[in-house]
Amino acid sequence: MYLGVALIKNGLDISSSKSGPDFVVNKGKENEIFIEATTCARGDAKDAVPEEYFAEKPEEIRVQDVPYDKMLIRLANSLDSKYKKYKNFIKKKEKPYIIAINRSILGYLDDIPLILKCLFGLGFQSFQIINGKLFNAGWTKEKTVFKESGSEVPISFFEEGEHNIVSAIIYSEKSVLNCPKEIGSDCILVHNPKAKLPIDLKIFSFLRQYKAKYNKDVLSIVRIWNVAK
């Protein structure tokens, strides 16, 4: 519902139907787009994301690790579920498809948007010291994370060719209870560089948008600024 309000408030023509994804943008028109919205769950058993700890008194303050791998597993599961549910529907329609995902229930703060790590297999920023100076050496790569059972979960959604029917991802870490005054300003849109049907940048100009660029084997993810409607 929050996403629907954000889209309407920013001038998009949206509708919904009993079959197919949650929203249709520009229904029946040449630039029709389907959007399916979902939220992450904490999970259960050993792979569940633990609740965030908040100290009520100074003496209760303690160090707490951010459970990145468990959070990435939840994001990956949500993406995979919505891809599989509508892949045949979207292939038949031959229209762009966006998965919108909110991960607020997991808690914790993003250093960078966590969805980027799940889409492109990013690990952590690395640095090199050359002649006494510190240089950014880019990101390490992590194609998978491991469940407690030892089984692997892929975290390179956009780099897997079968997912080219997913044109983009809309992502937010905020809940409705702490959403910003400007509805939708918490959301980002990440374009799939391998999308079969790319999204026009102008359609979602009100969102922060990111695109990946490849220079041989080197990946860079850049924010797109000043997108005119």
Residues 24-61 have pLDDT tens digits of 999 989 999 999 999 999 998 899 999 887 777 877 77
Gap between the Cα atoms of 90 and 86, Å rounded: 6
Is 113 a member of any domain?
A: yes
Sign of the torsion formed by the C-alpha atoms of 153, 157, 159 and 163: positive
Is 102 a member of any domain?
A: yes
Structure token digits, residue 69: 């791998």
Backbone angles phi, psi at 193, to 5 degrees: -65, -15
Is 56 a member of any domain?
A: no
Three-state DSSP state, 151: coil
Is 84 a member of any domain?
A: yes
Is 83 a member of any domain?
A: yes
Gap between the Cα atoms of 117 and 111, Å rounded: 11
Gap between the Cα atoms of 97 and 74, Å rounded: 21
Q: What is the pLDDT of residues 103-152, one digit of tens each?
A: 999 999 888 899 999 999 988 777 778 888 887 777 778 889 999 999 99
Is 229 a member of any domain?
A: no
Is 168 a member of any domain?
A: yes
State the residue range of the domain holding 104: 2-51+61-224
pTM over 0.85: yes
Over pLDDT 90: what percentage of the chain?
61
Structure letter (DSSP) for residue 153: E
Is 22 a member of any domain?
A: yes
- β pairing state of 133-141 and 122-130: antiparallel
Largest Cα–Cα distance in the chain? Answer: 63
The answer to whether the CB of 108 falls within 8 A of the CB of 83 is no
Domain count, the chain: 1
The pLDDT of residue 127 is 78
